[in-house]
Chains A and B, each alone.
Chain A
């Protein structure tokens, strides 16, 4: 348990107990002051996955707590480690000392282990396919975790995260998942009102992530197929999971959160109509899914990556007594009359990407336990279910998805690994075909 703060906590606890039993301090100091003994400990941070989001998350973590120090970085690509470290250093502009020793920069597929070993708190922000394995290692090494969504790309990975979520809880490790709407005041305010029954029982909803799509990285001369896929990861399912998972999980997760359960089944349709070039790998450019919940609620979910169409990223829920629109923050009664509007003030709202780290470190300091991993895994599975439904054209139940042996991600990856999807002689990848594509169950 090298570098573990658990060990320190336990020692502190024993010391506190001894003091408390003497009855001297306990009478005069509030309990909180004992927890404060932890407050000055320097927390070592490791960043695993040094892309734009990972680097941003590292800044959030370093901003959340004065006594956090970035000590180790890991990424498959050395150039990403270097550019990330440069960006983080520039961000703090000398106001915070950023020093990561050269020996603590780990490239390659297995560098994550060594980076995690060095730290108390780890940020897991590689492409999602790797997450279950990184999370498993971090929890086994007793680390607190911030990890980005989604937390897996296949059911096998989801189950691993669910197992580790339990262990994390037992070990009292904090795990925050970057479904940052849970840390956004507008959402938590609306959630509380809905939970109090402001719109009655939720019966239906529509969730959207429709826009023009994201970046694409062109194949470079001399790249191996594996390196190309790792650079252009968004378009390969074993590492990305398709945009219904990678982005749209945010919106599906909001529906789950507000309804208070996970879908019992999903059926839908999807395809690839405008984004057909080989640089777009194997993912669809649109999905439409109906999610059915145990309480009878039905959520229509649509996500589209097509240029020139209407854009909409939002969640709307209807209840027996009204409706809530998350984007505008408007809650209305059954006749359309305004019940409540969230008083959004541009520039005065807390940044949820910062809040999620503030909460994480606050919880670590106060010996609390945040356990986001279970919901992260279940919302991940919800979106995977949607993908299984659109790829196959069949209804998929929660149990089928949860127990499926469908595995996209190899358990071990190194530079000799052959990616699960390979291009044909024209550079094109096999595209899932509804009615034909099947999943092992």
Chain B
């Protein structure tokens, strides 16, 4: 090792901070100006089979054809995004802290130019709690905008996972119905769903994680992905890395929620959003930021190992 490299290595070892290069290990996002953090788990890229076999119990047509998919390395949040974190995006009350990070930033964005969610007219937690509970009821556009805002704040590129990345992470190397196996009776150890949720979402990260350290991939809240939901999309899903939305509905949501049964929690299960999720929004135009009738949908963020070009970043952050 040359002396120059050696010094660099030492610096790396003694620094808790991230420099202009990335680390192949998990890390904690510290949100400037708050006590909030988020654990980012390193997910080694690889190849996996998306979709489910015809014999899987509860399998739907949109889970076929099964396809071998290559996924690049990324970090994924160990938990769903909580209200504690999401509220800072809604309130935009810590934006002024973002400048401090710019020296080490991989990306640079004007935080003031990022549009923010409107204040909802109703209590979007529906009385189910906010501290350490998953944020819900945001539109996919709002979730995408959150990742852009978080990127501006931290200087790293964050986005929603693609459907393929989500399923890869959920499966954690398995091909069974759930990441713990095929037996849904074991779900009680891993997931909040219809049978055990007592009619509400639960605090994140309480159940057992999957073998890659990700909590609540099955259940609690269903999670937004980047993709337009399209039943037969797996046929095209080799050349196409993800199905970029060309319209607002339907977009793909994965993992099932506290309201769903065990079959809807399967690793391969898919669901599309629809306009009914805003049914009781009494305003016109209906909010671009909130789904008044989707207390089951939330999201978790990822960060690709390789930070894409500025142009590509914008593609991930632009949605319908």
Neighbouring A residues of B296 by C-beta, 8 Å? 346
Q: Mark B281-304, 1 if CB is under 8 A from A, else 0.
A: 111111000000101100000000
Which B residues between 87 and 136 are near A, CB-CB below 8 angstroms? 87, 90-91, 93, 118-119, 121-123, 125-127, 129-130
Please give 8 more A-B residue pairs, beta carbons under 8 A apart, in addition to A56-B282, A346-B296. Answer: A52-B282, A52-B285, A55-B284, A212-B91, A311-B123, A311-B130, A328-B199, A353-B282
A310 engages B130 (CB within 8 Å): yes
Q: How large is the interface on A (under 10, 10 to 19, 20 to 34, 35 or more residues)?
A: 20 to 34
Q: Does residue B276 face the partner (Cβ distance < 8 Å to A)?
A: yes
Q: Closest CB of chain B to A63's CB: distance in Å?
A: 11
Bound together, the chains give a CA A336 to CA B234 distance in angstroms of 51
Which A residues between 8 and 59 are near B, CB-CB below 8 angstroms? 52-53, 55-59
Q: Does residue A91 face the partner (Cβ distance < 8 Å to B)?
A: yes
Which A residues between 133 and 182 are near B, CB-CB below 8 angstroms? 180
Neighbouring A residues of B91 by C-beta, 8 Å? 212, 307
Q: Does residue B29 face the partner (Cβ distance < 8 Å to A)?
A: no
B127 engages A353 (CB within 8 Å): no
Which one of B90, B123, B279 has the greatest number of beta carbons of chain A within 10 Å? B123
- Chain B residue at minimal CB-CB distance from A83: B285
Which B residues between 124 and 158 are near A, CB-CB below 8 angstroms? 125-127, 129-130
Q: How large is the interface on B (under 10, 10 to 19, 20 to 34, 35 or more residues)?
A: 20 to 34
A214 engages B126 (CB within 8 Å): no
Q: Identify B119's interface contact among A87, A90, A212, CB under 8 A.
A: A212
Bound together, the chains give a CA A211 to CA B121 distance in angstroms of 9
Q: Does residue B247 face the partner (Cβ distance < 8 Å to A)?
A: no
Bound together, the chains give a CA A91 to CA B129 distance in angstroms of 34
Q: Does residue B5 face the partner (Cβ distance < 8 Å to A)?
A: no
Q: Does residue B226 face the partner (Cβ distance < 8 Å to A)?
A: no
| Chain B residues packing against A (C-beta within 8 Å) | 87, 90-91, 93, 118-119, 121-123, 125-127, 129-130, 199, 259, 276, 279-286, 293, 295-296
21 pairs, CB–CB < 8 Å, chain A vs chain B = A56-B283, A56-B286, A58-B284, A84-B284, A87-B285, A88-B284, A211-B123, A212-B91, A212-B119, A214-B121, A215-B118, A307-B91, A308-B87, A310-B129, A311-B125, A311-B127, A313-B127, A314-B127, A346-B295, A347-B279, A351-B279
Bound together, the chains give a CA A307 to CA B83 distance in angstroms of 12
Q: Closest CB of chain A to B307's CB: distance in Å?
A: 33
Q: Does residue A213 face the partner (Cβ distance < 8 Å to B)?
A: yes
A312 engages B127 (CB within 8 Å): yes
7 closest residue pairs by CB, A with B: A52-B283, A55-B284, A311-B123, A56-B284, A211-B123, A353-B282, A313-B123
Neighbouring A residues of B90 by C-beta, 8 Å? 212
Q: Identify B284's interface contact among A52, A313, A351, A352, CB under 8 A.
A: A52
B283 engages A53 (CB within 8 Å): yes
A307 engages B282 (CB within 8 Å): no
B284 engages A91 (CB within 8 Å): yes
Which A residues between 307 and 366 are near B, CB-CB below 8 angstroms? 307-308, 310-314, 327-328, 346-347, 351-353
Bound together, the chains give a CA A352 to CA B87 distance in angstroms of 28
Q: Identify B127's interface contact among A53, A59, A327, CB under 8 A.
A: A327
Bound together, the chains give a CA A308 to CA B86 distance in angstroms of 11
Bound together, the chains give a CA A307 to CA B285 distance in angstroms of 25
- Chain B residue at minimal CB-CB distance from A84: B284
Q: Closest CB of chain A to B190's CB: distance in Å?
A: 23
| Chain A residues packing against B (C-beta within 8 Å) | 52-53, 55-59, 84, 87-88, 90-91, 180, 210-215, 307-308, 310-314, 327-328, 346-347, 351-353
Bound together, the chains give a CA A308 to CA B94 distance in angstroms of 13
Given known A87-B284, A351-B279, A353-B280, contact A313–B293 (CB-CB < 8 A):
no
Given known A212-B91, A311-B130, A351-B279, contact A59–B119 (CB-CB < 8 A):
no
Bound together, the chains give a CA A180 to CA B279 distance in angstroms of 14
Q: Closest CB of chain B to A35's CB: distance in Å?
A: 30
Bound together, the chains give a CA A214 to CA B127 distance in angstroms of 17
Bound together, the chains give a CA A398 to CA B276 distance in angstroms of 42
Bound together, the chains give a CA A213 to CA B118 distance in angstroms of 11
B280 engages A351 (CB within 8 Å): yes
Neighbouring A residues of B276 by C-beta, 8 Å? 347
- Chain A residue at minimal CB-CB distance from B281: A56
Q: Closest CB of chain B to A265's CB: distance in Å?
A: 29
A55 engages B280 (CB within 8 Å): no
A352 engages B280 (CB within 8 Å): yes
- Chain B residue at minimal CB-CB distance from A345: B259
Bound together, the chains give a CA A307 to CA B87 distance in angstroms of 9
- Chain A residue at minimal CB-CB distance from B124: A311
- Chain B residue at minimal CB-CB distance from A184: B280
Bound together, the chains give a CA A211 to CA B126 distance in angstroms of 10
Neighbouring A residues of B119 by C-beta, 8 Å? 212-215
A346 engages B285 (CB within 8 Å): no
Neighbouring B residues of A352 by C-beta, 8 Å? 280
Bound together, the chains give a CA A59 to CA B283 distance in angstroms of 10
Q: Closest CB of chain A to B283's CB: distance in Å?
A: 4
Neighbouring A residues of B93 by C-beta, 8 Å? 307
- Chain A residue at minimal CB-CB distance from B121: A214
A313 engages B121 (CB within 8 Å): no
Q: Closest CB of chain A to B306's CB: distance in Å?
A: 37
Bound together, the chains give a CA A56 to CA B276 distance in angstroms of 15
Bound together, the chains give a CA A188 to CA B121 distance in angstroms of 23
- Chain A residue at minimal CB-CB distance from B294: A346
Which one of B90, B122, B284, B285 has the greatest number of beta carbons of chain A within 10 Å? B284
Neighbouring B residues of A310 by C-beta, 8 Å? 129-130
Q: Identify B283's interface contact among A55, A210, A311, CB under 8 A.
A: A55
Q: Closest CB of chain B to A49's CB: distance in Å?
A: 13
Neighbouring B residues of A58 by C-beta, 8 Å? 284
Which one of B90, B122, B280, B296 has the greatest number of beta carbons of chain A within 10 Å? B280
Neighbouring B residues of A57 by C-beta, 8 Å? 282
